[in-house]
Amino acid sequence: MPNSIRYLVGVDGGGTSCRARICDLNGNFLGEAKTGSANILLGAEVALTSINDAIATAARQAGLSEQDYPAMSVGLALAGGEQKSAWYAFMQQAMPYGAVTLNTDAYGACLGAWGGQDGAILIAGTGSCGILIHQGEQHVVGGREFPISDQGGGAVMGLRLIQQVLLRADGIGEKTPLTELVLTHFDHDIDAIVEWSKTARPCDYGQFSPQIFAHANQGDELGVAMLKQTAADIEMWMQALIQRGTDKICLMGSIAERIHPWLTPPMQQRIANPQGDAMDGAIAMAKGNHNLYPLEEVAL
């Protein structure tokens, strides 16, 4: 880290929002702000605008100005960072900060969960992704996005639910209260479900995951079967991380945090509590070079 750096900035950016936190070199909090999407797959310029706005707002909160930007080392933990062409397109943009390092949001979450040290996490929210950081290298399992990947995530859960509802509407399998809830949601109009599916996004499928948990906890046969499948998917990713050398795994995300009771006892014993979040990881990134790809290949 250059001697001119006086501030550490951590940025956690996803498809929905972007958070920026500013600390001094001792880790003391100075300011934090939140803006719009910073998923670099949605466009490098769009992401950078959100990031700059978040940092500017956090800087004002900290009593800093644009004159202080060259003294900032910025760690960017951004969704879409694994896509090589998007990574380079973003890093080729002019930025006013003293130092910038870019990696994925999962990488930032892993660093945060393990206090900046080596470790493994499995994220299961709308999507899913497992990551192990070991001796400076990261090993990723899954995370190739819905619908071809993301097993164990809410979107895949919702997709499977819709499939089961349609089967049971055709008399293949018994209807349950969970089936009826989904049919009621679409006014018992099968054509409406088909039409909805043509434009439904991962978050649209994921909206049904809380109801799957609720009905499963009440003994609904379909809900129970679906959570058993989700638990098996999550254990699949956990086993893949274990095979790559980890002993303990932090489970993170809305699905992962609720699936514990459905996992087998041996896998429950593999779970560790995260020490921090992606923002903490992004601050850790700001302390050094955590670029996913070689920075010297960026065409300036």
Q: What is the DSSP string of 237-274?
A: HHHHHHHTT-S-EEEESTTGGG-GGGS-HHHHTTEE--
Instruction: Show the tokens assigned to 25.
Output: 């070199």
- Res 300: pLDDT: 46
Q: What are the distances in angstroms from CA 179 to CA 101, 141, 216?
A: 47, 32, 12
Nearest residue to 23 (alpha-carbon basis) of 286, 278, 292, 290: 286
Please give the Cα distance from 243 to 264 (Å, whole number): 17
> In whole angstroms, what is the distance from residue 90 CA to residue 72 CA?
18
DSSP string, 61-110: HTT--GGGGGGEEEEEEETTTT-HHHHHHHHTS---SSEEEEEEHHHHHH
Sequence-distant (6+) residues with CB within 8 A of 79 are: 13, 14, 15, 38, 39, 40, 41, 104, 105
Tokens of 120: 């493994």
Q: What is the DSSP letter of 42?
A: G
State whether residue 124 is helix, strand or coil.
strand
Per the DSSP assignment, residues forming a β-bridge with 137 are: 134
* Residue in this structure with the two tokens 């043509």, named with its chain if needed: 198
Angle at 284 between CA 125 and CA 116, to 5 degrees: 75
CB 150 within 8 A of CB 156: yes
Confidence (pTM): 0.83
Secondary structure letter of residue 127 according to DSSP = S
Helix or strand holding residue 139 (H, E): strand 137-142
The confidence score (pLDDT) of residue 299 equals 54
Q: What is the pLDDT of residue 298?
A: 65
How would you write the pLDDT of the chain (300 residues) with one tens digit per residue? 677 999 999 999 987 789 999 999 999 999 999 998 898 988 999 999 999 999 999 999 999 999 999 999 999 999 888 889 999 999 999 999 999 999 998 999 999 999 989 999 999 988 899 999 998 788 999 988 889 999 999 999 999 999 999 999 999 999 999 999 999 999 999 999 999 999 999 889 999 999 999 999 999 999 999 999 999 999 999 999 999 999 999 999 899 999 999 999 999 999 999 999 889 999 999 998 899 898 776 654
- For residues 266 and 204, give the distance between their C-alpha atoms in angstroms, rounded to a whole number: 33
DSSP-derived 3-state class of residue 213: helix
The reported pLDDT for the residue numbered 297 is 64
Q: What domains lie within the chain, and their CATH numbers?
A: 7-115+277-297 (3.30.420.40), 154-272 (3.30.420.40)
